[in-house]
Amino acid sequence: MVKSGMIWMVDFDDDMCPVRIHGFFQYKTSGLLTNALLGDGKSVEEIAASNEHNNSMYDVIHAAKNLNYSKIEDKFITSFQLGGDEKHHYIVSVDSIVGPLMAVPNFDGDEHCYITVTPYKIGTIDSLVNVLNKIKMLFK
């Protein structure tokens, strides 16, 4: 079985973790109690009475179980598994997507298993120049 869907890093519950994104949506009905509207400090009654509309975009994610970014940073190669039940499916703001994560399927029979490598961080122009110099040295 071929697994579909890219794996992304999402800032989730004050930590980053690998997820598979299932889709994107936006609430079209006004007055719905969404995290964005409740986060503005308004009460449930105020939101319902104002018939306010939430223009935020959301994504439905399938999160990894028992793996956060600090575990990925600690090892060069890490395996992880997306949670197998509904407890690992969430709705999060699109703003929480950090970026793609290089992950390949771990063909051990489980469709939710992946292997990933630690992402290389390029924080400054100096570190980018160092990386490019190292690459140049490989081709000499």
The answer to whether the beta carbons of residues 37 and 52 sit under 8 Å apart is yes
Is the model's pLDDT at 4 over the cut of 70? Answer: no
Q: Which run of H or of E encompasses 11?
A: strand 7-12
Q: Would you say the pTM of this structure is higher than 0.75?
A: no
Token pair in block for residue 106: 């771990």
The answer to whether the beta carbons of residues 18 and 81 sit under 8 Å apart is no
Is the model's pLDDT at 114 over the cut of 70? Answer: yes
Question: What pLDDT digit, counting tens, does each position of 9-60 carry?
Answer: 788 667 788 888 888 888 887 767 776 777 677 777 887 777 777 788 888 8
